[in-house]
Structure 1
Amino acid sequence: MANQIIENTKDRMEKAGMALQAQLGKIRAGVANPSILRDVKVLYYGAETPLNQVASVSVPEARVLLITPFDKTALKEIEQAIFASDLGLTPSNDGSVIRLVIPALTEETRKDLAKEVKAEAEKAKVAVRNVRRDALDQAKKEELSEDELRKLEKDIQGLTDDGVKNIDSIAASKEDELLTI
């Protein structure tokens, strides 16, 4: 039973790190990254459809995203969806593809985005600590000897420390990416 608690805890803490990476992928760092379009939904034949299901997104240059629709009739809807999103980017439509030019970030904007990264990292750390709390509660409900319980608590704390280190490294790499000109 202790092994199951450890495996479940490890899995949930890894998911917290993956969720942080997904969240940080949405923060644009002055370079073209297709993941900033992950949440854009296009009204395609009356249904809200994710952008990546109606078009391919490529990065031909460091600060340009090229969106090529699978169906040319969806070009106008894709453009409207990008305008409606809160990305703050203006699409350029040439009749067959849409280009999104990612503007260079100012020093002030970079620092604000770095603060946002720290806030997201802190939320992920809270999630890891909540997983630890749940695992410890579950361990205390099990019928274990005091020695087994202490060892399990120590293992759970080790996983928590590893999870927090992972989150710190993910956040530090994103901050470096943001603050590098």
Structure 2
Amino acid sequence: MKLAEAESTMQKTVEATLRAFNTIRTGRANSSLLDKVTVEYYGTPTPLKSLVNISTPDATTILIQPYDKSSLNAVEKAISLSDVGLTPSNDGSVIRLNIPPLTSDRRKEFVKLAAKYAEEGRVAIRNIRRDTVDAIRKQEKAGEMSEDESRDQQDKLQKLTDKYNAKISELLVEKEKDITTV
């Protein structure tokens, strides 16, 4: 695995961590809360976003309007069964999700969840580093690279690892601030 490949994979890991952060409620309406919801649509699990139009008319409401009115009940059921933690209210043509204000205990839980997602991202980055170091050492043993080149590559890789771990830490601080802001 080359350094450019490792950097690309690390960048994707940071993006995946950010997507995980976006699924955590912050007390404000955000359509990305529904990213992981899938609906049983004509016998096929389908991502919610491909079946509905999602809007946020104000800071405490998510409005879900199905393209196909016959899927309204299936969408409502999928949201109820998901881990979103919100109760849908169906008025016959749209579904409303009211975002209640977060209690301080709930905010602490969400901060812990964000920290867990950040740690998963850091572990993934460390695994990428480990795999790349193994590949560099194999090249060195095979005689494809000198010991100095190998050390230089490993130093550059460590700098990349530190850079992407710092990015995840920045994202975590930002998310914690979002969650704890009332």
Is 1:157 the equivalent of 2:158? yes
Is 1:85 the equivalent of 2:86? no
Structure 1 residue runs of 5 or longer lacking an equivalent are: none
Structure-2 separation of matches of 1:47 and 1:152: 47
Q: Percent identity?
A: 43
Structure-1 separation of matches of 2:43 and 2:130: 45
Structure-1 separation of matches of 2:27 and 2:34: 14
Show the 5 A alignment for 1:59-74.
59-74=56-71
Aligned to 1:31: 28
Runs of 4+ in 1 over 6 A off after TM superposition: none
| Cα deviation, residue 177, structure 1 | 0.3
Structure-1 separation of matches of 2:111 and 2:168: 14
What code does the residue aligned with 1:163 have? Answer: Y
Structure-2 separation of matches of 1:48 and 1:56: 18
Show the 5 A alignment for 1:107-146.
107-142=104-139, 143-146=144-147
What code does the residue aligned with 2:27 have? Answer: G
TM-score normalised per structure 2: 0.94
Q: Residues 4-63 of structure 1: CA distance to partner in whole angstroms, max 9, x if unpaired?
A: 611011011111101101111111111111111111111222221111111111111011
Equivalent residue in structure 1 for 2:14, among 9, 13, 17: 17
Structure-2 separation of matches of 1:112 and 1:45: 36
| Cα deviation, residue 120, structure 1 | 1.3
TM-score normalised per structure 1: 0.95
| Cα deviation, residue 90, structure 1 | 0.8
Aligned to 2:173: 172
Higher deviation after alignment, 152-161 or 4-13: 4-13
Aligned to 2:42: 45
